[in-house]
Amino acid sequence: MASDSIHPSPVSYELRGKVLLVTIDNPPVNALGVDVRRGLAAAIEHADATDAVEAVLLVGAGRNFIAGADIREFGKPPQPPALPDVCNRIEACRKPVIAAIHGAALGGGLEVALGAHYRLAVPGAKLGLPEVQLGLLPGAGGTQRTPRLIGAEAALSLILSGRHASAQEALKLGLVDRVGASDDVLAEGLAYAQELLAAHAPVRRTRDAQGLADRESAQAAIAAARTDTAKKSRGLFSPMKIVDCVEAALNAASNNAFDDGLRFERKQFLECLDSPQRAGLVHAFFAEREVQKAPETKSATPRAINTIGVIGGGTMGAGIAVAALDAGLPVTMIERDDASLARGRAHVEKVYDGLIAKGRMTADAKAQVLARYTGSTSYDALAQTDLVIEAVFEEMSVKQAVFAELDRVCKPGAVLATNTSYLDIDAIAASVSRPQDVVGLHFFSPANIMKLLEVVVPKQVTADVVATAFELAKKMRKVPVRAGVCDGFIGNRLLAVYRAAADHVMEDGASPYQIDKAVRDFGFPMGPYQVIDLAGGDIGWASRKRRAATRDPNARYVQIADRLCERSWFGQKTGRGFYLYPEGARTGTPDPEVVAIIAAERERAGIKPRSFTDEEIIRRYMAAMINEGANVVHEKIALRPLDVDVTLLYGYGFPRYRGGPMKYADMVGLANVLADIREFAKEDPLFWRPSPLIVELVERGANFASLDQSA
Ligand code: 3HC
Ligand code: NAI
């Protein structure tokens, strides 16, 4: 057909002997968009209708079998055939259908394979049902067929975690029948199909599998999953529904009513699809990928990075060194003197010793990693290093002295990076003879664990240096966000503002304990005062003192934290801060003395305390965060609203299921956020100045998402 030659179907089929080879070719990952669903259904029709076809082999073109439903179709009007019908149609085929899996068989991709009668995976394949990570549940029979095939316990573990199983694990679980000897999926698949034909292997439908025959053990697994999910999946919508679906599978199995189970699953799936959590999580999925595509990554080629230097072996330097070692890179650490160098090495070793203690690393593996690590007190050791990251004290003069040394010893073309949290990187760059090589790499503590990496782009840096920073992030498995130079870049700049909003609420009448609880209930793992106690109150105190001279005298300044610091109550490390930590406890208890100090501060400031509901607290906290997020986009510090979202999600514990502060603003309605800001401004117009970007978007009836799309 003519139209076919213009829009060829992404699913093609051809006869190979007696086997109909069906190839799904829908780049980049063979997602199950409407054309793929149609193509699969048509291929099965053809197989049933054609005498020469004795078996069907499903394979994916490119690097994957099928990565799942097409996530971009969510929220749009559904187009037939629905995926569950396609899976049913495959299963109903009168000739054996074999799925040959390489790369990803995820979500709907695995569900298609479960609709087939036999499954083979090649060694590099990864199989899973990751829908839970998108606020969903497997909605094309996955919650029904998986337990029938591999039992309730294994199915629940796979579906609730969303993890990827290797080919070998899938074989052990019974998810696949065979692991091919080579990675040549076509050859392995065809050979397996021939073998099955030669053996007259029958059509074998997963709906008839007996994995739920032991009803008692399935019931026990479901009850255990229910208890565990109630504990672990705080605030999440889909996990409990997954347990319900597996329970429905069990009931359907007992009553011989597979299709009832499917119907139940469909209903739950559609409820998840309509949920704000699905919208938040899918936004996070795409935003995480979009941030990697900064303009410099398209316009420039990264420089080669084969060696890393780290200056400073404190909290951050050691963490960065571990991140680089874990990425397989050799690391040279520079410290001030031998004692500090030894301390730096000890910090690095402590991380690996922790892994050994937990049984996650062997002593041999540690020795192998540390063979790539050297330390020195002489900058000359960096003469051949490709990229150096400075993590010394947060003092401009100290940083500039370090950069002067780097300028002296490093080879031409070496990338010179700073991990500064707040300092002006343009000023650091201007102090050396090669400002074009200077970039900010702002890691988060602990640097070997936290995913976020702000790539801070000063004025004079060249594009290939920025591209190199993104390449390094990839090697280190970090999520890079491009940021411009300003006080605090994206994340810390927002943090300063929403913490100030929390301080205002505290001084006006809420306790830090209520604020922390409200913030936790919103979905953050910790409240702001717990975070201060964890990080050490002295850090913020030092920067407040540094800024005292430049602070606007008319700006509201809450002194409660200063009162605690003056008593050396720096948080967990000193046994008390906003909370008490008796005998080294990790969880704090409320402190009546802190409550008294707060009361005294209110009195000093002439404030008559009033009460706040948790909702009022969150409205202020979020309005402050969103407003400053809009400011950083407006000033082009962040490329798009989604870059702000990713920063908060990966560096500050923002609940992923809410998508980030900017996505959250779109969901509650930007006009509502603006109304809140204007309301709060009646009390404190200096603090609550609506961002010009929000005003403009509300005026033209637009939202933040419109900027994500147009950027
Ligand atoms: N739908 C639409 N687009 C998808 C997609 C999907 N399911 N999965 C990946 N993509 C896109 C990505 O957005 C990206 O697009 P871009 O190039 O424009 O940025 C491109 O494919 C490549 O993706 P990655 O950069 O992630 O490539 P990797 O090679 O690193 O990873 C992968 C490949 C492991 C398949 C990874 O993309 C992934 O985990 N995808 C999501 C899998 C998933 O969640 N599947 C379940 C979907 S829900 C479902 O199936 C419901 C069903 O039960 C009814
Ligand atoms: P730290 O005090 O733990 O470590 C600093 C280290 O630098 C010390 O070991 C010190 O001996 C060494 N040092 C100082 N001057 C030196 C010099 N001239 N040459 C070589 N080594 C020198 O400090 P931390 O927390 O690791 O912070 C380092 C940098 O990272 C700062 O710029 C900080 O703002 C930034 N940062 C800190 C984060 C945190 O959570 N601690 C998070 C992100 C960035």
**Residues 93 and 123 sit within 8 Å (Cβ to Cβ):** no
Torsion angle of alpha carbons 72, 76, 80, 82, nearest 10°? 60
Question: Residue 483: beta bridge partners?
Answer: 456, 638
**Residues 243 and 229 sit within 8 Å (Cβ to Cβ):** yes
314 to 121, 165, 327: CA distances (angstroms) = 46, 37, 20
Q: Which of 45, 54, 111, 188 is catalytic?
A: 111
- pLDDT value at residue 589: 97
Which of 42, 61, 52 is closest to 16 using CA atoms?
52
Backbone dihedral region for residue 173 (phi beyond 0: left; psi -120 to 50: alpha; all else: beta): alpha
- pLDDT value at residue 6: 57
For strands 387-390 and 452-457, give the pairing.
unpaired
**Residues 170 and 104 sit within 8 Å (Cβ to Cβ):** no
pLDDT in tens, 422-438: 999 999 999 999 999 99
Question: Residue 332: beta bridge partners?
Answer: 309, 374
Question: Going by C-beta distance under 8 Å and a sequence separation of 6 or more, which residues neighbour residue 675?
Answer: none
Question: Going by C-beta distance under 8 Å and a sequence separation of 6 or more, which residues neighbour residue 633?
Answer: 639, 640, 641, 643, 644, 662, 693, 704, 707
What is the DSSP-derived secondary structure letter of residue 78? Answer: P
CA distance 253 to 255: 5
395 catalytic? Reply is no
Tokens (6 digits) for 178: 């065979």
**Residues 166 and 101 sit within 8 Å (Cβ to Cβ):** no
Which of 523, 467, 540, 553 is closest to 653 using CA atoms?
523
How many CB atoms are located within 10 Å of the residue 10 CB?
Answer: 21
The rounded Å distance from CA 161 to ligand 1 centre is 17
SS3 call for 7 = coil
- pLDDT value at residue 7: 67
271 catalytic? Reply is no
Q: Which atom of ligand 1 is nearest to the CA of 134?
A: 44
CA distance 146 to 159: 9
Torsion angle of alpha carbons 455, 461, 464, 468, nearest 10°? -30
> Does residue 282 line the site of ligand 1, with CB under 6 A?
no
CA 493 to chain centre: 21
- Reported as type and span, the H/E element at residue 190 is helix 185-198
Q: Which atom of ligand 2 is nearest to the CA of 443?
A: 43
Question: Going by C-beta distance under 8 Å and a sequence separation of 6 or more, which residues neighbour residue 397?
Answer: none
Amino acid identity at 36? V
* Axis-axis angle for helices 670-681, 661-668 (nearest 10): 100
Q: Which one of 315, 377, 380, 389 would you pick to mutate in the ligand 2 pocket, going by the greatest count of ligand atoms within 8 A of its CB?
A: 315
The rounded Å distance from CA 318 to ligand 2 centre is 9
> Does residue 140 line the site of ligand 1, with CB under 6 A?
yes
Backbone dihedral region for residue 509 (phi beyond 0: left; psi -120 to 50: alpha; all else: beta): left
Average pLDDT for consecutive 10-residue bins of the chain (711 residues)?
60 97 98 98 98 98 98 92 98 98 98 98 98 98 98 98 98 98 98 98 97 96 97 93 98 93 98 96 97 96 98 97 98 98 98 97 97 98 98 95 98 98 96 98 96 98 98 98 96 97 98 98 97 92 89 95 98 96 91 98 97 98 98 98 98 97 98 98 97 98 93 65
Tokens (6 digits) for 529: 């005062």
Q: Phi/psi of residue 509, each to 5°? A: 150, -20
- Reported as type and span, the H/E element at residue 60 is strand 55-60
Q: Which one of 30, 34, 71, 245 would you pick to mutate in the ligand 1 pocket, going by the greatest count of ligand atoms within 8 A of its CB?
A: 71
Task: Note the helical H segments in 199-294.
Answer: 215-232, 238-254, 258-273, 276-290
CA distance 576 to 600: 19
Q: Which atom of ligand 1 is nearest to the CA of 290?
A: 19
- Reported as type and span, the H/E element at residue 508 is helix 491-508
pTM beyond 0.85, yes or no: yes
Torsion angle of alpha carbons 565, 570, 574, 579, nearest 10°? 100
What are the structural domains of the chain? Answer: 11-273 (3.90.226.10), 305-488 (3.40.50.720), 492-553+608-710 (1.10.1040.50)
Tokens (6 digits) for 84: 């569950």
